[in-house]
Chains A and B, each alone.
Chain A
Amino acid sequence: MTPDVLPIILPLVWGAILALAVFLYVLLGGYDLGLGVLFPLAPTHQDRDTMMASVSPFWDGNETWLVMGGGGLLAAFPLAYSVMLPALYLPIILMLIGLILRGVAFEFRFKSGPYRWTWDLAFAGGSIVAALMQGLIIGAFVQGFNVVDGKYAGGAFDWLTPFSAVTALAVVSGYVLLSAGWLIMKGDKALRDWAYGISRYALIAVATFILIFSLWTPWLHPEIAKRWFTPANMVMLSPVPLATAATIAALWLSLKRRMRYAPFLLAAVIFLLCYTGLAVSLFPYIIPPSITLWQAAAATESQLFMLYGAIPILPIILGYTAYSYYVFWDATGHEGYH
């Protein structure tokens, strides 16, 4: 590979690495935040213990993908990082605060005796706030940012619009769907029954939001409409919406047949398809509608220097993540609470 190819390839490589990190976070952090959203609704105290125990070996591993996303964005696409974070100042701060509260709740809840309810509150409240903020962030991101001379030039509340409010609710219902699927895999019979019920409502909500989102997004930027509705593209891209519809139907059936693992996996597939659809809409912009991956990219020598570290370490992290799910799979911790 000649050196002049690098400035074209490296931003794509880093775009792919970050896209993977963010997707893993949305998937793993998603079911784990969804549990916090469902927490107040759980039928019994013991169910709450089970819910928390089912995710406690994993939550901070899940969260590290978010750290990776933030750190990676700064290093690989400093321009995007420096536009997005000020633009999303308040939702990001609120998300971080929510994540801190729910994170320490894992650690302190089982030790605080009569004050356990305060940490329950912190866990549920922190999770709900974090999930809502992530939804607002995604909505605001798709909507795009007001950029002048490479700097954010909008106001403090540009992120708060009807569109971003809809994505916030969409993301929360998606997280609930994932976590209900998680509980169907991990819970005992009573908890499973409850989770099947929740899944149906969540799936109806998710399907509705996907429809609204798909119809609304093309109106945000003409380019997105053009990408999806140019005849040639329509044929080429049609598998994405068709597969989404099919997966939703399959998930509905799997709930009816009370399957054990299919609901979570199919919910994950729905997330992947939505994510793909979003990528199709936005590529090659990292700050819609004005800054591309290549414009935002760090200098080639910086992206290259980081890649030397990422190439050996990322597979190890992925491998370890898989391994820890394997090792702690059965740790729902019932034995601890009798």
Chain B
Amino acid sequence: MLELDPLLLSRIQFAFTISFHILFPSFTIGLAAWLFVLEILWLKTGKPIYEDIARQWTKIFAVSFGMGVVSGLVLSYQFGTNWSEFSRLGGNVIGPLMSYEVLTAFFLEAGFLGIMLFGHERVPKAVHLFATAMVALGTLISAFWILSANSWMQTPAGYTVGPDNVLHVADWWQVIFNPSFPYRFAHMVAAAYLTTAFIVAGIGAWYILRGRSVAHGRIMLGMGLSLLVWLAPLQLIIGDLHGLNTREHQPVKIAAVEAHWETQKGAPLILFAVPDPKAETNHFELSVPRLGSLILTHEWDGEIMGLKSFPPENRPNPIIPFFSFRIMVAIGMIMIAVGIVGSVLWLTGRLYTSRWFLRLLTWVSPLGFLAVLAGWFTAEVGRQPWTVYGVLRTADSVSPVPGGSVLVSILLFVLVYGIVFGAGVYYIAMLVRRGPGETPPVPEEEEADPSRRPMAAAGAP
């Protein structure tokens, strides 16, 4: 019989619960910022159409935020239930970073979320705008601490190792602003904005296609495209810089992402391959000579280390990082292309009539979420076999719990998240279907709903 391995099962469970969770912050970071811009436009122009859109998307924001809170609760306990050795050995460093995130989230919840969600009728517009700005800022601060903690696990700095292997902080500044943090933070925030812009543009296109809420759809499409056209290419540059940083600090991750086995100068870019860790080679390889070195070192003859330069016990399995990275990049390219094509159509006055483009955009617009997941899989699987790169192995981080317990919890999480996620997505879909221009003005409806909580702000369907 197959032995239930708590390490593997805990990894699967963590991957599942954190993947589920990250979808919601990716969305709400972008939405909060966009809602802020919409409110400014509304204040400046006085056009009610901006208010319509802002109100509709505030409801969608509320549902997403609620799901993010609920799935985040689980994560704050999983570090202990499943990764207790990591918590014990790394708690001095990771604990305070996480706590600052919790305190920030609290602070947000305390101060401004309520006003943003329920305060439209109760506070002056300027106060509401300020509350939205604070929520948008708060999501960024939350991301700041979480990405700082994650980056520290990728490129640890500012710490010392005690005689009992417990890690201690020597310099908080170096811990927080560790070498990969600025790149990862910029990359993730840009990804969140892009994901949101893409989906907003796609839903705008859908409204135009179906001929209802068309004016609102045009604004959404226009605003989405305006962000995509410059931020998608900029994200490529940020990603490139992030890659250079990774090559410097985590060369074995780059080797896995690129499926390079041998260290070589003027390395090719492998477009497709099936990496085979046992035979230490690739099958069905399709590559472009020298392009790999050019991209990763910005030099024709740059040297890229291969997996074989590292002892086998220190290498990640390249299969997931290799493919997830390519999925992420491909989606990035699609975003760039959509941004450029859409802008050209827009400038030449054909955007709203090019139904093929609108249809295409509607279909590809959820891809940002997939790109976020693919990017995180690249980063996290590529860090293996370490939880803290080069310092603490994943195998030494796991809790002393039996595999059977973890299997039970995985099954429960899959079941319950399936139900909750299904209900949440269904509910968001209902909110989207009823376009912003179609909502009958029934403020009483909101008054009547006694549950003044995030998702309750979304009103009755």
Contacts and interface: CB of A to CB of B under 8 A. Distances in A.
Interface of A: 52-53, 56-57, 59-61, 63-64, 66-68, 70-76, 78-79, 81-86, 88-90, 92-94, 96-97, 99-101, 103-104, 106-108, 110-111, 150-153, 155-156, 298-299, 301-302, 305-306, 309-310, 313, 316-317, 320-321, 324, 328, 331-333, 335-336
A56 B456 contact: yes
A122 to B, nearest CB: 8
A82 B110 CA distance: 29
Contacts of A93: 81, 408-409, 412-413
Contact of A313 (B66, B70, B103): B103
B81 A332 contact: no
A302 B76 contact: no
Contacts of B450: 53, 56-57, 331-333, 336
12 contacts: A60-B453, A71-B101, A78-B91, A79-B91, A81-B79, A82-B399, A89-B401, A104-B70, A107-B451, A107-B453, A111-B461, A313-B103
Given A56-B451, A71-B99, A156-B402, A96 B84 contact: no
A78 B87 CA distance: 6
A83 B402 CA distance: 15
Nearest to A112: B423
Residue from the set B169, B427, B449, B451 with the largest chain A CB neighbour count within 10 Å: B451
A215 to B, nearest CB: 32
Contacts of B409: 89-90, 93
B249 interface: no
Interface in B440-459: 447-456, 458
Contact of A306 (B99, B402, B447): B99
A143 to B, nearest CB: 18
A61 B81 contact: no
Contacts of B63: 107
A151 B91 contact: no
Interface string B301-336: 000000000000000000000000000000000000
Contact of A100 (B90, B172, B416): B416
A306 B76 contact: no
A116 to B, nearest CB: 12
A286 B399 CA distance: 19
B427 A71 contact: no
B85 interface: yes
Contact of A96 (B77, B79, B408): B77
A110 B453 CA distance: 12
B100 interface: yes
Interface string B330-350: 000000000000000000000
Contact of B110 (A107, A309, A320): A320
A89 B456 contact: no
A101 B415 CA distance: 11
Contact of B408 (A52, A67, A90, A110): A90
Interface in B389-407: 399-402, 404-405
A313 B409 CA distance: 34
Residue of A59, A83, A96, A317 with highest tally of chain B CB at under 10 A: A96
